Structure 1
Amino acid sequence: MDVKIHDESGQIVICMAEKRLDAAIAGQFKDTVRPHVASEGGDLVLDLSAVEFLDSSGLGAVIALRKALPNGRRMYLRGLTANVDRVFRLTRMDQIFDIIPTDESGAA
């Protein structure tokens, strides 16, 4: 699984570099990212621009990470592809998560 984590202007940015966030890797993704969620630091930005497919297990992993955030920290989603954005909208999770809009060129 390819996940890159770095600091960007005081925020912890997690870039999921896989095309699929599904049942096959959702648990590993959550286990890899959870220490960064629970640690001290700025808000969390989850960059899903490489993810073309998200199933219920992947969505559950993203929700679990949000729930694990300490009080006072926020989680933002950015780079949602059309298919991933559709999952968030159909499940109404777009009303729960802070989503950084992406323009038509794909830039956040």
Structure 2
Amino acid sequence: MKFSIEREDQYTILAVDEEKLDSTLSPQVKSELVTLQNEGVANVILNLEKVKYIDSSGLSALLVGNRIFTETGSFVLCGVSEHVMKLIKISQLDKVLDILPTVEESVDTVFMNALKRGLEEEGGLEE
């Protein structure tokens, strides 16, 4: 699988450089996400700009990332193509996943989520 990782202090961007996120690639994506979590990364932005097709196993990889990172940080998707977004909506995962158009907006969301978590931990923000 072709991908790139950009590590910053507060977040890591994992960019999938493949056109298909299907059963041949999704185990590698899941593995990379688990590795990032084990390394102590709290916030992941998954850049899907190059992905044009996703199947159920690819959607499963997105859910794995969402589950393991939203417990302690943020998991944000960005650069989602129209076709991939259609499949996410059909699966009703758009109600579960944090999806933004650009990397920049995703980074802003990561920082906002961190601020919100900090306030909640201090007891200063009621739900």
Shorter-chain TM-score: which interval?
Answer: 0.7 to 0.9
Q: How big is the shift at 1:40?
A: 2.0
1:29 counterpart letter in structure 2 = V
| Counterpart in the other structure of 1:39 | 39
Q: 1:33 to 1:42 in 2, by over 3 A?
A: closer
Q: 1:97 to 1:17 in 2, by over 3 A?
A: same
| Counterpart in the other structure of 2:100 | 100
2:21 counterpart of 1:21: yes
| Counterpart in the other structure of 2:88 | 88
1:72 match: secondary structure:
coil
**Under a length normalisation based on structure 1, what TM-score does the superposition of the two structures give?**
0.84
Q: When you count helix as a share of all residues, which structure comes out higher?
A: 2
Distance 1:44 1:36 in 2: 8
The runs of 5 or more residues in structure 1 that have no matched partner are none
The runs of 5 or more residues in structure 2 that have no matched partner are 106-127
- Tell me, yes or no, if the aligned pair for 1:20 and 1:51 is still in contact at 8 Å: yes
Aligned residues between the structures: 104
1:60 counterpart letter in structure 2 = S
**Under a length normalisation based on structure 2, what TM-score does the superposition of the two structures give?**
0.73
2:25 counterpart letter in structure 1 = I
